[in-house]
Every structure is written in structure tokens, then in C-alpha cells.
């Protein structure tokens, strides 16, 4: 495959058969931290093959080696563009022995982390900024004494800050009382963290805006990772845009821990029917579309790009809320969507906290060249448009390795022509 660009087309517009998705990156990354703190009592099945998960696994191994060394030198851990790894490691490294320089890609050094660092330092951690204040890289001294058990953190910036703290809470000498300040964004991701902790016997108490976890040890357990619902969302978009489609996605569950399972309900408004059968999920194209005009992504922001691009191609003039966290992701996803949709005549117009999609100018004869901005979700959100345009081109297609390494292979298996 060309590392710089790939042309995407689908001659038949028909999708059929089975697509076996990788394990959830969100579940896998939480499981790795839980396992690392368990003292060997937790095992993991079906770990994701996503680059972010591989990065976190390697970083935890490097931290374990550093903890056994004598001396005061810093161990550098570079997570590249892996945002979850950066947040989770910032907290994790405060609980292990060693001195660490935690760094990442150029974009990672632009992504704020001050809220999490302030919270950890309040609890007694020793974290200094090795570059610009409020951003990576971070100089972390592990194993500092705990100063307090209670801390308040904004709930509307990144749920990963909250999850990072909760994952290490049981390993803190005095436990943790985490007060969520203001509105909580992406609640399902926080619920996922707490439910996975419960699976290994770590209990919590959540009352109003306070979550409490006492010091406790994980029990012997195996965490089995469900396939990735975020990856499934791209297939929902493809089914919606295909001429005919009937796909089976094995091992996805109706009672998923993953907030992105909300795609089932969302895409029912775009003519995609879902049924759980034979140990998995079947999705089929139908002629049924609803009149729903406003979609809120506060609980599932990682679905926003996929749904907005799909709606644009279907020429549905819809409105969207809950997009505020998209500004601080792998790229400014709002600006990136606006630029790339504009390449085939569609507008995404900001109106305070609401965004309106205007598709009257959609040019179906366009052969757009889509930039991906080092963002895996940009590539995968726009790839389904190969079912709409005679030809489209996606720059830097290898960004998909961050979360769904087999994405292009699976598209070829489903009749997409990639050149």
C-alpha cells in the first residue's frame, strides 16, 4: 500500500459476509493498566492489535524495567500520538518506582494535560513540565507519598483524566475520593472503567458527583476484551451508503461496556437495522429513515465524524451538539471536518454549541482528496465515501493503525478497490 495516499472505490456497491473486528482499544488500554497494578493476578484475552494499545503495552514494560534499576536517571517513554496512553501513563507512573520523562509526538505536545497533572500533584505526586506548562512532555518521579485522598476534576474536558485517576485509585495508600466538577462528558467511558475494575474485584461507591475507591487489591481474574464498537461504526456508515448490504460482526454484545455501542440507535435513523444473533451483530441496509434532525454526541464523541460524514453523503441536513471535546483530539476535528466536507460542497456551520450540516451544494461528481491530519478517525470516517464517489483519494492512509490496523484489508475483502 502507498504510504502517502490511497484511492478508494467500490464498483458493485454491495457488502455481504463477515467482518471480524479487533478488540476494543478503550477496553484494552484500561485492562493493561489494571493488569500492571494487579501484581500478576489479572490476565487479558483478545487484546487489541491497535497501535495505541501496542504502544501502551511497550511503555508499561519499559516502566517495569526502570523500576528495578538503581540510580536516579530518567527513563524516557515516548507514546507518539497515543492520547489514551499519555493520560493513563501520567497517572500510572506516579504509583511505580522510577524517574520518567513521558513524551509524545509534536501534536501530543499541543494536547492539554494540565487538569490531570494538577489533580495528581494535589494528591501528592511529583510531576513537572519538561516543556510548555500545561502540556507534555512531563518529568514524573514515581512513588511519591500521598498527601490527600480527595481531589476535584472538571468533568466536561476529557473523561480520560477521570479514568486515569480511577484506574490507580485502589493502589493509592489512602484510596481516592474523586469529585466531578460541573457537567460530565462521555459518561459511558467512565462507567466502562468502573465496571472493568469491578470485574477484578475493585469496588467503588458513586454518589452524586463523588466517586470513592478504597485501597484494595485486585483478585485473580481474566478480562476478555469485546470487539471494538468504534470500528463497527465505520461499517454502519458503509451499510448506510451501500446499494445493498448485509454484514455480520462476530462477538459484539447488546450489553456492551462501550459507549460507542450507541451507534446501533443512531444509525437506525439512517436506514441501518441491527439484530443480535448467533453470538454477534448483523447489520442490514433498509429503506427506513427517520425524521430526527438533532443528534447529541456528548456521550459518544468518537462517533461524531463517522455520522456527520455519512449524513453529508446521504444529503441529510442535520444538526449536532456535544462536539466540544473534538477540538483537543488528535487534530482539531471540527476544523478538519469543515475543510474536508467543503471539498465536495458540504458545509458544517457552527452556531454556538450547535453545528448545522448544509448539504445543498453536494457535488457527487467530485473526486475529493481527503487529508487526514494524523487522525485515524478522519481516514476511516471518509473512507465509506468510496461507495458514493466514482473515485476519492485519502492521504496518509496508514494512520488507521492507531486503532484499526486491519481496516484497509477488511475493505478489500468487502469489494473495495484500493489503488
Pairing of strands 319-321, 294-296: parallel
**Residue 28: predicted pLDDT:** 97
pTM for this entry: 0.85
Query: pLDDT tens-digit profile of 255-298?
Result: 999 999 999 999 999 999 999 999 999 999 999 889 999 999 99
Give me the phi and psi of 107, to 5 degrees please.
Answer: -65, -40
Residue 91: Cβ within 10 Å count: 27
Which residues are designated catalytic?
Answer: 302
Query: pLDDT tens-digit profile of 2-25?
Result: 579 999 999 999 999 999 998 999
Mean pLDDT, residues 33-58 = 95
Rg (CA), the chain: 22
Q: For residue 319, what are the β-bridge partners? A: 294, 356
Q: Is omega for the bond preceding 137 within 30 degrees of 0, making it cis? A: yes
**Residue 233: predicted pLDDT:** 98
Question: Which of 182-186, 234-238, 273-277, 280-284 has the least mean pLDDT?
Answer: 182-186
pLDDT above 70 for 125:
yes
CATH number, domain 25-224, options 3.30.365.10, 3.40.50.2000, 1.10.10.10, 3.65.10.10: 3.65.10.10
pLDDT above 70 for 117:
yes
Question: Half-sphere exposure (CA, 13 Å, Cβ side) for 256?
Answer: 28
- Report whether 77 contacts 51 (CB < 8 A): no
Q: What is the CATH number of domain 5-23+227-418?
A: 3.65.10.10
Pairing of strands 221-224, 347-351: unpaired
Every domain of the chain and the residues it spans: 5-23+227-418, 25-224
Amino acid at each position: 500500500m502507498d504510504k502517502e495516499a490511497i484511492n478508494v472505490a467500490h464498483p458493485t456497491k454491495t457488502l455481504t459476509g463477515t467482518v471480524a473486528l479487533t478488540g476494543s482499544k478503550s477496553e484494552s488500554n484500561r485492562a493493561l493498566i489494571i493488569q500492571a497494578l494487579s501484581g500478576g493476578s489479572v490476565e487479558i484475552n483478545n487484546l487489541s492489535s491497535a497501535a495505541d494499545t501496542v504502544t501502551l503495552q511497550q511503555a508499561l514494560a519499559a516502566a517495569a524495567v526502570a523500576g528495578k534499576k538503581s540510580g536516579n536517571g530518567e527513563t524516557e517513554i515516548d507514546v507518539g500520538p497515543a492520547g489514551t496512553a499519555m493520560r493513563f501513563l501520567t497517572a500510572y507512573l506516579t504509583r511505580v518506582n522510577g524517574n520518567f520523562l513521558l513524551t509524545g509526538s509534536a501534536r501530543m505536545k499541543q494536547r492539554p494535560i494540565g487538569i490531570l497533572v494538577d489533580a495528581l500533584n494535589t494528591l501528592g505526586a511529583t510531576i513537572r513540565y519538561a516543556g510548555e506548562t500545561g502540556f507534555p512532555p512531563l518529568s514524573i518521579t514515581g512513588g511519591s507519598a500521598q498527601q490527600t485522598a480527595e481531589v476535584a476534576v472538571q468533568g466536561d474536558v476529557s473523561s480520560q483524566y477521570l479514568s486515569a485517576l480511577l484506574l490507580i485509585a485502589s493502589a493509592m495508600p489512602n484510596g481516592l475520593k474523586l469529585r466531578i466538577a460541573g457537567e460530565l462528558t462521555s459518561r459511558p467511558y467512565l462507567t466502562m472503567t468502573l465496571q472493568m475494575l469491578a470485574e477484578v474485584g475493585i469496588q467503588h461507591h458513586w454518589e452524586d458527583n463523588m466517586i470513592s475507591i478504597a485501597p484494595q487489591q485486585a483478585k485473580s481474574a481474566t478480562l476478555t476484551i469485546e470487539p471494538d464498537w468504534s470500528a463497527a461504526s465505520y461499517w454502519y456508515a458503509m451499510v448506510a451508503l451501500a446499494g445493498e448490504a448485509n454484514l455480520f460482526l462476530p462477538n459484539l454484545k447488546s450489553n456492551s461496556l462501550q459507549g460507542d455501542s450507541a451507534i446501533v440507535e443512531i444509525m437506525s435513523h439512517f436506514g441501518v437495522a441491527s439484530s443480535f444473533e448467533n453470538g454477534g451483530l448483523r447489520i442490514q441496509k433498509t429503506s427506513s429513515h427517520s425524521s430526527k434532525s438533532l443528534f447529541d454526541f456528548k456521550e459518544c464523541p468518537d462517533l461524531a465524524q463517522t455520522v456527520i460524514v455519512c449524513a453529508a453523503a446521504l444529503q441529510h441536513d442535520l444538526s449536532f451538539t456535544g462536539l466540544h471535546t473534538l477540538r483537543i483530539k488528535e487534530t482539531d476535528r471540527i476544523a478538519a471536518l469543515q475543510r474536508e466536507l467543503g471539498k465536495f460542497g458540504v458545509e458544517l456551520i457552527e452556531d454556538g454549541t450547535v453545528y448545522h450540516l448544509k448539504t445543498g451544494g453536494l457535488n457527487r461528481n467530485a473526486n475529493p482528496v481527503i487529508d487526514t491530519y494524523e487522525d485515524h478517525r478522519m481516514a476511516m470516517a471518509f473512507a465509506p465515501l468510496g461507495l458514493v464517489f466514482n473515485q476519492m483519494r485519502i492521504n496518509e492512509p496508514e494512520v488507521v493503525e492507531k486503532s484499526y490496523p486491519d481496516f484497509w484489508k477488511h475493505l478489500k475483502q468487502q469489494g473495495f478497490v484500493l489503488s
